[in-house]
Structure 1
Amino acid sequence: MAQGERGTTPASSTPTAADLVRARDRLLGAGAGTRSAGPSGHRLGPSALREALADLHEFWLTAHAAQAGVGGRGEGVALLAVGGLGRRELVPFSDLDLVLVHDGRKSVEAVAERLWYPLWNSGVGLDHSVRTVGEALDVASHDLRTALGLLDARHMAGDAEVTVRLATAAREQWRTGVRKRLGGLSESVRQRWARSGEVAHWVEPDLKHGRGGLRDLAILDALALAQLIDRPGQEVRAAHTLLLDTRTELRRVARRPRDVLRPQDGDEIAGALGLADRFALARALSGAGRSIAYALDVALRATGATTPARKILGVLRRAPERRPLDEGVVLHGAEVALARDADPGRDPGLLLRVAAAAGRTGHPIAPSALTRLGESAPEPRAPWPAEVRQDLVALLGSGEGLTDVVEALDRTGLWARLFPEWGAVRDLPPRDAAHAWTVDRHLVRATAHAARLVTSVSRPDLLLIGALLHDLGKGRGQDHSVVGAALATQVGARLGLPEPDVATLSAMVRHHLLLPHTATRRDVTDESTVHRVVDTLGGDPVLLELLHALAEADSVATGPGVWTDWKARLITELVGQCRLAMAGVALPDPEPLDEAQLALAESAAAAGKPDIRVDTVDRLATVTLVAEDLPGVLSRAAGVLALNSLEVHGATVGTHAGVAISAFSVTPRFGSMPDPALLREQFARAVSGSLPLAEKLAAKERDYGGRAEDAPEPKVLWFDHEAGGPDSASVVMELRCADRIGLLHLVADALERSGVDVLWARVATLGGSAVDSFCFAAGTAPGWRRAVEVAVLDAAR
């Protein structure tokens, strides 16, 4: 500490705690209208201020420790600093973390009282302990916070040999015992994240405790000290400096210990750091938080902290199992990785298959896979192939798993390869106070919530894509709905959507605020209000239901209290009035069978045995299975396809010449199409009842990862084909649910067991969602419709 900073204290006397507080206040500019200044009156930058505060407190503690009786070399007593002072990262108004270490002498309690009392009396925050070296190590052995703190221990006063002994032993104890503590370390980190939120994407980030904050940097340093990971790189160190400088300026502005940055403090802090405004600061902090959080995620996985310990048989440890998840994608241990023969450079869909598998299973993508994909995965050529678009929709429909997958892809530049437009909203802070997240995280969270609502719409693919894009026009200086609609048209065309779907997607983005604004600002029962909405939407009932679901997803992802029962009720009432004005929803219709399929049916009828035909174009195939028109043919045909890992994207069912015809549009999940002869043999066995489909499909679903716990609740809708009430000549039942292995087999089996004779069916798989329509004769028994619905819903769950 410079001589001029000691105030009026005579050089021959020991400075008091009051002197310490006055000198600290001078550094912080405590007087009204003053700025934090050094001895020459110039304002100290955040780094220089921390250095000055560390020097000031170290000088005072050294002098006061001698007066309190902390002896020198050979006396067996030492004063150590841990925490911010130990690291010389002392920010304004930090507590002093001090440890008085001794060799067991009884007089140490009196020394401690003389040390601590002046600090307590002056109001300086103090976290203190008095221990022998053995006691300190014992506490550290079972208290994680103490163990991490001792890694920063630095000598302040007294017998330096005691300090060296404790610091050396604490570091060695950490290195040798860290692997046993990794599980507890990972759990404590995640509990802290749950309490404090994130630094990245949050409007009011906790710079110290939040995910991606300064506490996480301490964990990275501790893992590096144990030689489990490399020292954090330059990007993480730059993030550390920004967070530390921001925290320093926040406390200087607030004049009290605060770690949560509020928007109203942002402009002043940004100015002190040389940034344009609070929005520039928020964007920089979000990027910094993402860098640190990603580094710690990778570190915890690399050390095995997030993976349950594998059992050891004798002295041999089994290698992690490699289980196929999709074509070119495997689960390696607890990470989604590339298959050994996968070639990202020649497979434009591999990137999204990896991402979709990670989202579906909840397992992270292996860093090595991200590196390989980043080096060689091409941007899908526009228009995207249908199967690549399906994988995108499957990823977007993965729910909460989507957030971490998008973060990993974005950190490695892969997300921008899919959506170049994303750069304008990345880490973009919101201008609306109701928003709790940056714009990019809001879009991802809205999409994750939309995944819970896919059964409320007939086009779940458009709902998910629209949720991802609805605020993409922000940050461009114009009406974001108008700009976003143009961007949605651009993206939709690149994804290969048909022109009517592109128009619907663009209209979703253009009008995503129409329902909430109208419902909360106008009379929803007023006929003119209803017709205004209907006319704006062009009388399109599909667009109406998409906007209804998007309004909820958008509101829930905005922040707490934005989606309320009152708002939901108003919007639902408005939508109901609009549906009446639109005069209903068009019924699904069967798709016609082509001449080749009819000819196959006639051939099977003449031969009197089941048959199949496979027509393949690239990876997309049409499999037509024909057999005598008896109950169970549809479910068994679908079961054979699922058993061979064929993913059904569409299906049509009909009859001709007394033969049931089931035509499926499929792609293989792995490898190439199976041999048609194998399919024919299995189909014949399934029809005869000698192939145990249910047992084999249940085992296959377990191998594939099972059903998602947060899958949306399945929903059934009924449409009457003819006028005359619910028991008309025929009905169409539409099932909306999450797709799963053998879904069509299970649903068709449930219908067949309910005594339903399916006249035709139309199946559509949209990413991870299924929208399947079945037409059959209406029943006459009381409650028949409810009985069928219950059976189908049970099968779909």
Structure 2
Amino acid sequence: MASTAERILKQRDIIDRSALAEQIEGIVRECGAEVRRPRVVEILQTALANGRAEIQRRLNAAPSQGYRASAEQAFLVDQIVRLIYDYVTVHAYPAANRSASERIAVLAVGGYGRGEMAPHSDVDIAFITPFKRSSWTEQVVEAILYFLWDLGLKVGQSSRSLDETVKMAQEDLTIRTALLESRFVWGDRGVYKEASLRFWNEVVANSASDFVRLKMMERDGRHRRMGDSRYVVEPNIKDGKGGLRDLHTLYWIGKYIHKVSAAAELVDVGLLTIDEYNRFRKAENFLWSVRCHMHNITGRAEERLTFDLQREVAELMQFADRPGRSAVERFMQFYFLNAKTVGDVTGLFLAHLDEAMAKKGRRFLPSFGRKPRKLNGFQLDRGRLALPDDDFFAQDPVRLLEIFHLADVHELEIHPLAMRAAQRDARLIDKIVRRDPRANALFLDILTSPRDPETVLRWMNESTVFGRFIPDFRRVVAQMQFDMYHHYTVDEHSIRAIGLLADINRGKLKQDHPLSTVMVQQIVSKRVLFVATLLHDIAKGRGGDHSVLGAEIAETLCPRLGLSPAETETVAWLVRYHLLMSATAFKRDLADFKTILDFAQAVQSPERLKLLLVLTVVDIRAVGPGVWNSWKRQLLSDLFEATEEVLRLGHKQRGRDERIISKKAKLETALKLPAGNFATFAKTLPDAYWIAEPDDIIERNARHLLSNAGTDLAIDACFYPDRGATLVTVFAADHPGLFYRIAGAIHLAGGNIIDARIHTSSDGMAVDNFLIQDPLGRPFQEQSQLTRLKRNIEDALTNRARLMIQLDAKPKALRRADAFKIAPSVLIDNQASNRFTVIEVNALDRPALLNNLALALFESKVTLHSAHIATYGERAVDTFYVTDLFGGKIENKNKLKGLEARLLEAATVQARVKAKAAA
């Protein structure tokens, strides 16, 4: 293997060790012992800073030369370590006649040993001595370490004798892996050679199988910790799936088994082909480029490619905007394609390894039960689908679909070498193959499989067969959506949604999705649902409304797949309106009957309603972990049931009066009050209250109000498991500004309002119900949290706390959302409700946003009746149902313009402390 130095051009422009050694010698001659060390440290600090600056300059000039930059960084550290070692052993602790034990070999281990370092990587070094450490060796090691620490380097170090090194490497996989990549840096080369010989003879010998098994387990565990997908939108460049560590694992395994000294030698031993190695190196170079840029930008060992870094790295690597796609989205798509390459190369490497070991009677990959030896001409190689010969796909390109269909039907894995052939031959899928009825029937069977379509479709995507057969899907492969809401790339999101749909269809998610599990069995054409799920985001990144463009794609693609005209029409409708149900449920007042009527008019049929419900559920849940919750499930269920009743009856829901009478009867039975007392109590609550609130909240409110009759302020808070939130009820004398004060108090207590219903009784008391979660979408459950909530609200409403001053003084933490720019907008709609003016505000989510908007409504002299809060990553969508002070819609144009201006200002900047607000 070429040494680190041999790979570096113009080495002295990075660091001139000879010149620095002469400077250090001059300091030793000229200065006393007490000032030597600080002067040497100063010289080395300057050399390190200048070297890093030169490496960064080179990288900025050639921003895709990351592998070269990593070698230059290791070279720079090598020279620093050598200078320190020479100074310490010659001048600080000279030993004229060293004993046999007073010898030290300084080894680079880990990534540093491989000769690859990012600008702020740890310096992993091992000090090896022949025998137990003497006082001289301890002094030297300690002095070297203090020099490195004074230079600001983060050092991972060990100091062991030869015997200790061998013993610990035998016992600890991490130490064994680090030593596997050990490289001599300086000191006694004889000690290094002996250590290397003993490592290979006493540690590695006869342990290859165990090492590979442990390394694969370690890799799988690392993937699980990092999200187990290479398509997460903020990937870990080092340890994530498809990251550098996956490539390192291949090198470790190859070196352990075959003693290769460089990744290129994996070709010589048959673990990679030349083409696979070139892909290995290309992906590695790109990942190193990104990693080095990240370290330079942040000034630290940052390995997570966060949203804010994505923009800067994309700019440094000279990605540019294109119509419909920003530079950062193009950069991230290229990142994910390289992460996919890492996955492809890993699978092929393991296949070669498995084949090689099988010849020796061993296998590293799992074997499967006995299966028939042949299936439609395909062969079975130890339970995996394989090809009988290399041109099997070329003889009939439809077999590129058939192999995945067989894998699904017989629940088989596909041999990695067959996957490689599929990837190579996917280009054979042309217009003729795409129009072939047999090919389309095979694809539709895979898509609608009752077994595990997610896994098989992911294999198809990895092999590029998926994108070749559905060219529109190819356009969204590895395409990220630059926002905090979507956790995965578009193709990964769509495939996950299909997997969730298959699980619901099999009844596996009945506890999480009881309504969808029932409805999916009542759907007439399930393949309509599967195709719509596949296509719902297929037009993203095209510069227009992806729902409209996706519907156009569906109208063309569905007949090709074999769907009838009626099925095609339904798929196109579902794709066109796949966001309608969630937008209605989360951003509109479901107690306002016009909301239900408008939604029912758009849906028009019970079948479409069932289809849209299930599609909405899987779309939301496939966004990423933590996005789905019981609150969303309840809202969608409420909307579904109310709409289904309208569609089933054909004209209208149960009359408003009948619903109110029914709810009052249920409450009277639960409270067991005397008839006269109950009638008096019930009469104080407006009809809108009985319509809006569910029975369980009505009962809890009633018990709370009755127990606090005669008081001016009573606050109740409890965990509400059915909604996955905390229910807070405020019973107070109604007055202008009540809502914004409550909202501010809840924010100060660390809560986010996700829904609010505002009511006023006939005797002038406000009965306001809030659903609250913490910033991570979890309910407050601890008694201390509930107590703090109630105390904060009470203090705000009794003026014991100067609310606006406290809000302004609250620290504004740096947040991931700050990487995004969202122009706020205010939409005012007087048609969405018969009784209210509906205002929708879109803005960058931030602490106290709702409080600022509520303050703007108060200053605009409008009456708030309900608020509905939805967040989509960094974007907040807050909807308010308001009237003027006389209870009518706001229709005066000047009033509407003023209201819009105030809300825009509140959505744009943090509310200022105003004297009248603080009063």
Instruction: Report the TM-score when normalising by structure 1.
Output: 0.64
CA-to-aligned-CA distance 1:58-103 (integer Å, 9 cap, x gap): 1221122233339999874210101232222221121111011121
**Contact persistence 2:536–2:578 (CA under 8 A):** yes
Change (3 A) 1:229 1:171: farther
Query: What is the 5 A alignment of 1:118-137?
Result: 118-137=147-166
Letter in 2 for 1:2: I
Q: Indicate the residue corresponding to 2:789 in structure 1.
A: none
Q: Indicate the residue corresponding to 2:539 in structure 1.
A: 473
Are 1:220 and 2:247 an aligned pair? Answer: no
**Contact persistence 1:384–1:495 (CA under 8 A):** no
CA-to-aligned-CA distance 1:497-517 (integer Å, 9 cap, x gap): 111111111111111101000
Change (3 A) 1:45 1:367: closer
**Contact persistence 1:185–1:305 (CA under 8 A):** no
Equivalent-residue separation in structure 2 for 1:451 and 1:162 (angstroms): 61
Are 1:287 and 2:337 an aligned pair? Answer: yes
Equivalent-residue separation in structure 1 for 2:463 and 2:61 (angstroms): 45
**Contact persistence 1:197–1:206 (CA under 8 A):** no
**Contact persistence 1:103–1:132 (CA under 8 A):** yes
Query: What is the 5 A alignment of 1:317-332?
Result: 321-323=370-372, 327-328=376-377, 331-332=380-381
CA-to-aligned-CA distance 1:379-417 (integer Å, 9 cap, x gap): 6756554795365334454676624x3343334331123
Q: Indicate the residue corresponding to 1:661 in structure 2.
A: none
Are 1:253 and 2:318 an aligned pair? Answer: no
Equivalent in 556, 562, 569 of residue 621 of structure 2: 556
Equivalent-residue separation in structure 2 for 1:319 and 1:563 (angstroms): 36
CA-to-aligned-CA distance 1:600-648 (integer Å, 9 cap, x gap): xxxxxxxxxxxxxxxxxxxxxxxxxxxxxxxxxxxxxxxxxxxxxxxxx
Q: Indicate the residue corresponding to 2:632 in structure 1.
A: 567
Q: Indicate the residue corresponding to 1:423 in structure 2.
A: 474
Q: Indicate the residue corresponding to 1:164 in structure 2.
A: 193
**Greater CA drift, 300-309 or 332-341:** 300-309
Equivalent in 257, 263, 271 of residue 307 of structure 2: 263
**Contact persistence 2:446–2:453 (CA under 8 A):** no
Equivalent-residue separation in structure 2 for 1:444 and 1:260 (angstroms): 24
| TM-aligned CA deviation for residue 319 of structure 1 | 12
**Contact persistence 1:397–1:464 (CA under 8 A):** no
Equivalent-residue separation in structure 2 for 1:237 and 1:333 (angstroms): 31
Q: Indicate the residue corresponding to 1:659 in structure 2.
A: none
Query: What is the 5 A alignment of 1:662-673?
Result: none
**Contact persistence 2:129–2:191 (CA under 8 A):** yes
Q: Indicate the residue corresponding to 1:303 in structure 2.
A: 353
Q: Indicate the residue corresponding to 1:61 in structure 2.
A: 81
Q: Indicate the residue corresponding to 1:612 in structure 2.
A: none
**Greater CA drift, 462-471 or 335-344:** 335-344
Higher helix share: 2
**Contact persistence 2:15–2:47 (CA under 8 A):** no
Letter in 2 for 1:243: L
1:233 alignment partner, SS class: helix
**Contact persistence 2:351–2:416 (CA under 8 A):** no
| TM-aligned CA deviation for residue 11 of structure 1 | 5.3
| TM-aligned CA deviation for residue 223 of structure 1 | 3.0
**Contact persistence 1:393–1:464 (CA under 8 A):** no
Are 1:272 and 2:322 an aligned pair? Answer: no
Equivalent-residue separation in structure 1 for 2:60 and 2:177 (angstroms): 38
Are 1:337 and 2:386 an aligned pair? Answer: yes
Letter in 2 for 1:244: W
Query: What is the 5 A alignment of 1:326-725?
Result: 327-328=376-377, 331-338=380-387, 344=393, 350-359=399-408, 363-373=412-422, 375=425, 381=433, 385=437, 389=441, 392-397=444-449, 402-403=454-455, 405-454=456-505, 455=517, 456-457=519-520, 458=523, 459-537=525-603, 539-583=604-648
| TM-aligned CA deviation for residue 256 of structure 1 | 1.1
Equivalent-residue separation in structure 1 for 2:76 and 2:129 (angstroms): 25
Q: Indicate the residue corresponding to 1:114 in structure 2.
A: 143
Q: Indicate the residue corresponding to 2:15 in structure 1.
A: 2
1:259 alignment partner, SS class: coil
Q: Indicate the residue corresponding to 2:225 in structure 1.
A: 195
Letter in 2 for 1:128: Q
Change (3 A) 1:474 1:250: same
Letter in 2 for 1:57: V
Equivalent-residue separation in structure 1 for 2:532 and 2:355 (angstroms): 37
| TM-aligned CA deviation for residue 37 of structure 1 | 4.6
Q: Percent identity?
A: 25
Equivalent-residue separation in structure 2 for 1:545 and 1:361 (angstroms): 31
1:69 alignment partner, SS class: helix
Letter in 2 for 1:514: L
**Greater CA drift, 379-388 or 278-287:** 379-388
**Contact persistence 2:373–2:380 (CA under 8 A):** yes
CA-to-aligned-CA distance 1:653-688 (integer Å, 9 cap, x gap): xxxxxxxxxxxxxxxxxxxxxxxxxxxxxxxxxxxx
Letter in 2 for 1:299: F
Q: Indicate the residue corresponding to 1:184 in structure 2.
A: 214
Letter in 1 for 2:272: D
**Greater CA drift, 127-136 or 543-552:** 127-136
**Contact persistence 1:91–1:251 (CA under 8 A):** yes
Q: Which runs of 5+ in 1 are unaligned?
A: 313-317, 586-797
**Contact persistence 1:24–1:53 (CA under 8 A):** no
CA-to-aligned-CA distance 1:302-330 (integer Å, 9 cap, x gap): 43499999999xxxxx9994436965556
Change (3 A) 1:124 1:364: same
Equivalent-residue separation in structure 2 for 1:143 and 1:369 (angstroms): 36
Are 1:138 and 2:167 an aligned pair? Answer: yes
Equivalent-residue separation in structure 2 for 1:556 and 1:40 (angstroms): 41
Report how many aligned residue pairs link the two structures. Answer: 574
| TM-aligned CA deviation for residue 176 of structure 1 | 4.8
| TM-aligned CA deviation for residue 572 of structure 1 | 1.4
2:318 alignment partner, SS class: coil
Change (3 A) 1:7 1:558: farther
Q: Which runs of 5+ in 2 are unaligned?
A: 1-13, 28-36, 259-268, 321-326, 506-516, 651-919
Equivalent-residue separation in structure 2 for 1:252 and 1:326 (angstroms): 54
Instruction: Report the TM-score when normalising by structure 2.
Output: 0.56
1:393 alignment partner, SS class: helix
Letter in 2 for 1:103: P
**Contact persistence 2:65–2:285 (CA under 8 A):** no
**Greater CA drift, 2-11 or 441-450:** 2-11
**Contact persistence 1:360–1:401 (CA under 8 A):** no
**Contact persistence 1:7–1:19 (CA under 8 A):** no
**Greater CA drift, 448-457 or 209-218:** 448-457
1:209 alignment partner, SS class: coil
| TM-aligned CA deviation for residue 348 of structure 1 | 6.5
Query: What is the 5 A alignment of 1:748-787?
Result: none
Q: Indicate the residue corresponding to 1:98 in structure 2.
A: 125
**Greater CA drift, 508-517 or 131-140:** 131-140
Equivalent in 272, 280, 283 of residue 230 of structure 1: 272
| TM-aligned CA deviation for residue 113 of structure 1 | 2.0
Change (3 A) 1:224 1:287: same
**Contact persistence 2:398–2:433 (CA under 8 A):** no
The CA RMSD over aligned residues, in Å, is 4.0
Equivalent-residue separation in structure 2 for 1:10 and 1:245 (angstroms): 34
Change (3 A) 1:272 1:467: same
Q: Indicate the residue corresponding to 1:239 in structure 2.
A: 283
Letter in 2 for 1:55: F
2:86 alignment partner, SS class: helix
**Contact persistence 1:236–1:288 (CA under 8 A):** no
Letter in 1 for 2:457: V
